[in-house]
Amino acid sequence: MAVGSYLMLLAVRMCVCVPLGVVMVLPIWKTRACSSDQDVRQAFDRLQNAQIALPIADPDPRDYRWTAMQCSLTRTQLILALLAAACSGSGSSPVQGTHPTTAEGFNKVNHIIIVMMENHSFDNYFGSLAYVPNGAYHTSPVGCAANDHRCVDGLDCGEDPTGGLVCTNSNPDDAGSAVAAFHAPSRCTTPDLAHSWPQSHLEANFEDPNGALFNSPNDGFVRVNDTGYQPDNGIETATEDPTMGFYTQEDLPFYYDLAEKFAIDDRYFASLMGPTLPNRLYLMAATSFGHAGADSLPNGEAFKPSSGTIFDLLDSKGISWADYAEAGRPEAMLLRLPSTSTPDPHFRSLQDFLAIAAGSPGIAQLPQVSWVDAAPKDNEHPPNDIQRGQAFVSGVINALRSGPYWKDSVVFITYDEHGGFYDHVAPPPASQGAARTPDDLFPGQCADLSNPPASQQAGAGAHCDDSASEAQSLCPALAQSPAAQYPDGCASFDQLGFRVPFLIVSPFAKPHYVSHTIADHTSLLAFIEKRFLNADAALGGPDRLHLTLRDQHADTLEDAFDFENAPSLNTPVIEAQPPSTDCTPSP
């Protein structure tokens, strides 16, 4: 075992928090030198995200003091620095606590609505946000300062003579050539891109996927997808690797309008580096309880995590909730089956939501917490036309904006995972009190309440075959002994996934505001818990109910809100129509 890995594991097991002064005088075991501005920026981000104080607040990569200091920061030092932050147990981001929220202010929120779409990274959708002509935002060649909330950490681009964007962010292909990010020529990406548990870790660190927690150059997107998802066919064009494609305000005018008028977060990540299912489980249970793959769930069954679900917590306090689905199975049914005796008020149609939100007479009230699910044709999962999903979300927002519930609602719009699309920011460690998992359940070793007590043993949970296979594919040591203790050197649930788009649409959202707070899907659970499940009236103390270590330590994103003044109460929103020419392939 490497010296750095040994020190980290030893310290975690002993719950030792290492002072920064000790970290900085440790012997040096160098892993690599900084070879570019991007390397320097990523190294700074890794430490800043871990809340480690640095001698230079916002470094210029050309500053020799910063380059010399950071390039000599070793794997061992980084491990112990990250551990020092994790052991603090605060779960806070660099900006948490700078905008304290009073109970009176937080309690003005009476309705929370979550819209989760599918399979796009932050750079894929908002990497060009800072380049909107006469737009609200800017970017910085050395990254955004923590207190600059008009700065978006997107792609590094300039304009060509025709006004198009030319970007320097790139990924190597198999021949070693750099494939630069480019404006995607089509709103329909086909075929689907690589985003499984092992593929995502290879996209993060192609040479050492199990080491992505400590070094994530995000250098494997092209090579992983070239193996089967976007195969090379002779001489390539500049736009032949769709993983490197991005969209602009011309493609997504409604989303860009929301992003410029309300609040976004450019440090919002998927909950894990993997596909849809486990990330959606984190949204509803603050864990995937061992699931890391696309495990299928037969009709008439639901997963039963031992630590419960957000629905259980809401029910325990009499908080109303519902899942409104455009078509098909509502996402909440992954974890909760509907009542068979009477119509279950928790599972309703999209048309019900639109009518309720708009204030139609003689209809039920809007629940305190709502999920709104798009049908597969509208959820923006490739190869569907992304403007179909944009029109779906527009209908949801405009119904709410024109109705009686707008004044006290918060809408979170996000994406379950990156879908194989490139993002340049290294996924940070998960905030969960220095633990390797939120609940002592490791990848591929599922456990649940499907058949207790037998199913509560690691590896005995229901419908875990795909997860077990993918965990073993990434971790050969686990494959040799699947029932043994999870190997120390293998990737676990202690790292977030890649960044995904995230918008806050609400009267309380700060206008044209970019939060740089580290968050993931469990931050939405923490927000719900703090508002409705806190015995201390939104003070955020230890009395807040939670499910696992992940939502217990998640940031609640309050820096993006002004509950006292509701500055976006009268902000208008535009409408988005379905695409005039739909590029979605025929079935």
* Confidence class for position 584, pLDDT limits 50, 70, 90: very high
**Which residues, in sequence order, are CB contacts of 23 under 8 Å at separation 6+?**
77, 80, 81, 84
- Inform me whether the pLDDT recorded for 219 exceeds 70: yes
- Inform me whether the pLDDT recorded for 268 exceeds 80: yes
Q: Closest Cα to residue 406, out of 195, 113, 136?
A: 113
Dihedral, CA atoms, 131, 145, 61, 242, nearest 10 degrees?
-40
- Inform me whether the pLDDT recorded for 511 exceeds 80: yes
- According to the model, what pLDDT value does residue 507 have? 98
- Inform me whether the pLDDT recorded for 319 exceeds 60: yes
pTM assigned to the model:
0.85
What residue ranges of the chain are covered by domains with CATH 3.40.720? 93-151+247-470+489-577
- According to the model, what pLDDT value does residue 385 have? 97
Mean pLDDT on 489-518: 97
- According to the model, what pLDDT value does residue 230 have? 64
- 370-399 residue pLDDT tens: 999 999 999 999 999 999 999 999 999 999
User: Residue 159's beta-bridge partner residues?
Assistant: 165
- 110-138 residue pLDDT tens: 999 999 999 999 999 999 999 999 999 99
Q: Looking at this protein, which amino acid is placed at residue 362? A: G
463-498 burial by CB neighbour count: b if 16+ within 10 A, else e?
A: bbebbbbbbbbbbeebeeebeeebbeebbbbbbbbb
Mean pLDDT on 302-314: 96
- 325-344 residue pLDDT tens: 999 889 999 999 998 878 89
- Inform me whether the pLDDT recorded for 56 exceeds 60: no
Residue by residue, DSSP assigns 242-300 as GGGEE--TTT-HHHHHHHHHSEEETTBB-SSSS-HHHHHHHHHHS--TT--S-----TT
More confident residue, 180 or 536: 180
> What average pLDDT does the chain have?
84
- Inform me whether the pLDDT recorded for 586 exceeds 80: yes
User: Residue 111's beta-bridge partner residues?
Assistant: 409
Label residue 15 exposed, middle or buried (CB < 10 Å: 0-12, 13-18, 19+). exposed
- Inform me whether the pLDDT recorded for 321 exceeds 90: yes
In CATH terms, 93-151+247-470+489-577 corresponds, of 3.40.1710, 3.40.50, 1.20.950, 3.40.720, to 3.40.720
Q: Closest Cα to residue 229, out of 217, 218, 244?
A: 244
- According to the model, what pLDDT value does residue 231 have? 62
Mean pLDDT on 215-232: 86
Q: At residue 202, what are phi and psi to the nearest 5 degrees?
A: -70, -35
Mean pLDDT on 276-288: 98
- 400-457 residue pLDDT tens: 999 999 999 999 999 999 999 999 999 999 999 999 999 999 999 999 999 999 999 9
Least confident of 361-365, 455-459, 564-568: 361-365
- According to the model, what pLDDT value does residue 343 have? 85
More confident residue, 437 or 23: 437
Least confident of 28-32, 280-284, 430-434, 486-490: 28-32
- According to the model, what pLDDT value does residue 66 have? 33
**Which residues, in sequence order, are CB contacts of 146 under 8 Å at separation 6+?**
48, 58, 94, 95, 516
- According to the model, what pLDDT value does residue 77 have? 44
Question: Of all residues in the chain, what percent carry a pLDDT higher than 90?
Answer: 70
- 539-551 residue pLDDT tens: 455 567 999 999 9
- According to the model, what pLDDT value does residue 455 have? 95
